[in-house]
Amino acid sequence: MNVLNNQRPATIPDGPLAFKKPFHRRLKIPILAQVSGLLFLLLISAGLLTVRQLSLTSQDVKTLAAAETVKLTLEPATSTLEFGQEKEYKIMAETNPVDLKVSAADLVVLRIQNDLIEIVDITPTTRLPVVLRSFQADIPGVRGSIVLGATPKNEFKGKDYIATVKVRAKDKAGTARLTMINGGSQVAAFGNSNNVYDNTGSSIAITVNAPVTPPATVCWNYVIGSGNNLNWPNACKGIPKTAELVCAEVITPLTADEVIAYRAWIAAGSSIPEVCKVSPPAPTDPKLSLKFRIQGVTKAGIVKTADVTIRYHQKNSAELFSKTFPLTLTSQDDGTFGTTAPIALTAIHPEMIDQLNNKGVDILVKTPTTLRKKLGTIAYPPTDGSNTLVGNFNTQDMKLMVGDFDRSHTPHEQENYLRGSDIGRMVSKLTDLSIPATGEYADLDINHDGFFRGNDIGLIVGNLTDISISGDSI
């Protein structure tokens, strides 16, 4: 035993310096109780530590949940387009963590920087195939969106393409960008009440290039028209035809410089490069359906040859242009002559016909023994929307007049007249009261009764109401 415990303590006044007995002696608490209290305090401290540890673990869980995200990226990073060209770009989605299940996505795509491209459409892939709201142009050409969803029990997760964006280039060169950042896209995932789109990703730099300069070779032999009215037959304007080259079938007038170059080509001998010996794409020919009558014909089965002339005003020209088509026609039951099917008016380019001034197309017909007659004018283009001109000129007052029999005129421009000489030729051939209408007498049988007689001459005499009757000129 410590001897200090048997000594009496000195008397010290009360106050700050007053000596106090040890705590356990003053409280007179047994040693076992003191140990028990210490253990209790340790248990309390351990409990508080455990509660604190549990609190931190719950916070970590909340932090982990907030980190669940989906990244949306446009691919590829760069692209090029030509004027008017359309191209599709992909939207890549990537979930974090990889097993995060995406149930729906509101995809918003923006065009930023220069006004060179426009957003045309957004379509889904098989990964989010349900269209909850179809594509809409929130700002036409500038901002487009679509809402997509997953099929039941087949939610999207991982990394894959979920949609494609179709873009069209405008007719202006430069660079624009396509992006989803800050566009307002939203992504919904199971177990999350918030938007898990992380608003990051990449944009696409799209360069719009001007058209390629046409090749130096010009096929001047493609030019159509004459005088001051020279045109290209299509929008390719003399570029040699290739398998890839498609030309719009529209008449394009030559520019002033091209007219000078074309005339220089003519003056130099009009040599044609090999690549120009392939004809340009031909425009679709208009067609003609025609009916008319000839004096004296009242029955079927009469065969006649006829020159059908198409006459029209050409665009940007005061001149009349014409083309004649030889036909062989057979009369129908009522004596009407006509085409059994519409005939193609080859080499008459429909774009060359002056449609703006409503001048239409004139139809003129002449047979070897009749005077040429303008039967009428047909509107072009046809009012029914077809490419067929329909001329039904089968009325009695529209008959072609017979009487052009004298072939002795020189030049032939003097034909297309009814004169006394035509009647004289008929009289000279009538050597009998009735001659079978065969060989040279077939044309003289005006009423087609099988014989050449005086009554045929009488029909022609009735036509000669003046010294000379002329047919219509072309």
Considering the domain architecture, whether residues 242 and 327 belong to the same structural domain is answered as no
Considering the domain architecture, whether residues 149 and 128 belong to the same structural domain is answered as yes
- Report d(CA 393, CA 426) in Å as an integer: 29
Task: Determine the straight-line distance between the first and last CA of the chain, rounded to whole angstroms.
Answer: 155
Please state, in angstroms and as integers, the Cα–Cα distance from residue 336 to each residue in 248, 302, 333, 377, 392, following that order: 40, 10, 7, 19, 10
Please state, in angstroms and as integers, the Cα–Cα distance from residue 9 to each residue in 17, 20, 23, 25, 463, following that order: 14, 10, 16, 14, 173
The H or E element containing residue 390 is strand 388-393
Residue 456 lies in a domain: yes
Considering the domain architecture, whether residues 300 and 356 belong to the same structural domain is answered as yes
Lookup: tokens for 461: 């005499």
Query: Which residues face 149 on adjacent strands?
Result: 104, 130
Q: Three-state DSSP class for 158?
A: coil
Considering the domain architecture, whether residues 129 and 204 belong to the same structural domain is answered as yes
One pLDDT digit (tens) per residue for the chain, 474 residues: 343 344 344 343 444 334 344 434 444 445 544 445 444 444 334 443 343 343 334 344 344 445 799 999 999 999 999 888 999 999 999 999 999 999 999 999 998 888 899 999 999 999 999 999 999 988 888 999 999 999 988 889 999 999 999 999 998 899 999 999 888 899 999 988 899 999 887 789 999 998 766 556 888 888 887 777 788 877 677 777 665 666 655 667 888 888 889 988 988 888 888 888 776 655 567 888 999 999 999 999 999 999 999 988 776 666 788 889 999 999 998 889 988 888 888 777 666 676 656 678 899 999 999 999 999 988 877 767 677 888 888 877 778 999 898 766 655 555 789 989 889 989 999 999 999 989 889 989 999 999 999 999 999 999 989 988 999 998
Half-sphere exposure of residue 188, counting CA atoms within 13 Å on the CB side?
Answer: 10
Domain's final residue, options 189, 209, 229 = 209
Considering the domain architecture, whether residues 152 and 261 belong to the same structural domain is answered as no
Looking at the chain, the number of H-run helices and the number of E-run strands are: 5, 26
Q: What is the pLDDT of residue 179?
A: 92
- Residue written as tokens 């356990």? 24
Residue 38 lies in a domain: no
Give the amino acid at 105.
A
Among 371, 380, 396, which residue's Cα sits nearest to residue 292? Answer: 396
Considering the domain architecture, whether residues 291 and 186 belong to the same structural domain is answered as no
Could you tell me if 231 and 253 are in contact, meaning their C-beta atoms sit under 8 angstroms apart?
Answer: yes
Among 161, 150, 146, 151, which residue's Cα sits nearest to residue 102? Answer: 150
Could you tell me if 351 and 383 are in contact, meaning their C-beta atoms sit under 8 angstroms apart?
Answer: no
Considering the domain architecture, whether residues 301 and 421 belong to the same structural domain is answered as no
Give the amino acid at 124.
P
Considering the domain architecture, whether residues 193 and 118 belong to the same structural domain is answered as yes
Residue 30 lies in a domain: no
Considering the domain architecture, whether residues 346 and 438 belong to the same structural domain is answered as no
Considering the domain architecture, whether residues 268 and 321 belong to the same structural domain is answered as no
Q: What is the pLDDT of residue 337?
A: 92
Residue 61 lies in a domain: no
Pairing status of strand 320-330 against strand 303-313: antiparallel
- Report d(CA 165, CA 306) in Å as an integer: 61
pTM: 0.43
The H or E element containing residue 80 is strand 78-82
Please state, in angstroms and as integers, the Cα–Cα distance from residue 59 to each residue in 47, 56, 97, 205, 375, following that order: 19, 5, 19, 42, 98
Domain's final residue, options 254, 277, 300 = 277
Please state, in angstroms and as integers, the Cα–Cα distance from residue 365 to each residue in 325, 448, 450, following that order: 10, 20, 25
Q: What is the pLDDT of residue 280?
A: 60
Q: Looking at residue 421, which CATH number applies to its domain?
A: 1.10.1330
User: Going by C-beta distance under 8 Å and a sequence separation of 6 or more, which residues neighbour residue 178?
Assistant: 74, 89, 109, 110, 111, 112, 117, 119, 165, 167, 203, 204, 206
Please state, in angstroms and as integers, the Cα–Cα distance from residue 92 to each residue in 17, 44, 72, 75, 124, following that order: 81, 54, 6, 7, 11
- Report d(CA 428, CA 75) in Å as an integer: 93
Q: Looking at residue 188, which CATH number applies to its domain?
A: 2.60.40.680
Domain's final residue, options 366, 397, 428 = 397
Among 473, 293, 291, which residue's Cα sits nearest to residue 400? Answer: 293
Pairing status of strand 388-393 against strand 287-292: parallel
Q: How many domains does the chain have?
A: 4
Tell me how far the alpha carbon of residue 102 is from its chain's centroid.
37
Q: Three-state DSSP class for 33?
A: helix
- Report d(CA 130, CA 151) in Å as an integer: 7
Residue 26 lies in a domain: no
Considering the domain architecture, whether residues 307 and 381 belong to the same structural domain is answered as yes
Residue 18 lies in a domain: no
Range of the domain at 267: 220-277
Residue 354 lies in a domain: yes
Please state, in angstroms and as integers, the Cα–Cα distance from residue 469 to each residue in 139, 375, 403, 408, following that order: 73, 17, 9, 17
Please state, in angstroms and as integers, the Cα–Cα distance from residue 324 to each residue in 178, 311, 433, 470, following that order: 59, 9, 39, 19
How many CB atoms are located within 10 Å of the residue 69 CB? 19
Considering the domain architecture, whether residues 73 and 200 belong to the same structural domain is answered as yes
Residue 291 lies in a domain: yes
- Report d(CA 329, CA 332) in Å as an integer: 10
Q: What is the pLDDT of residue 273?
A: 86
Q: What is the pLDDT of residue 409?
A: 60
Could you tell me if 293 and 396 are in contact, meaning their C-beta atoms sit under 8 angstroms apart?
Answer: yes
286 class by beta-carbon count within 10 Å (0-12 exposed, 13-18 middle, 19+ buried): buried
221 class by beta-carbon count within 10 Å (0-12 exposed, 13-18 middle, 19+ buried): middle
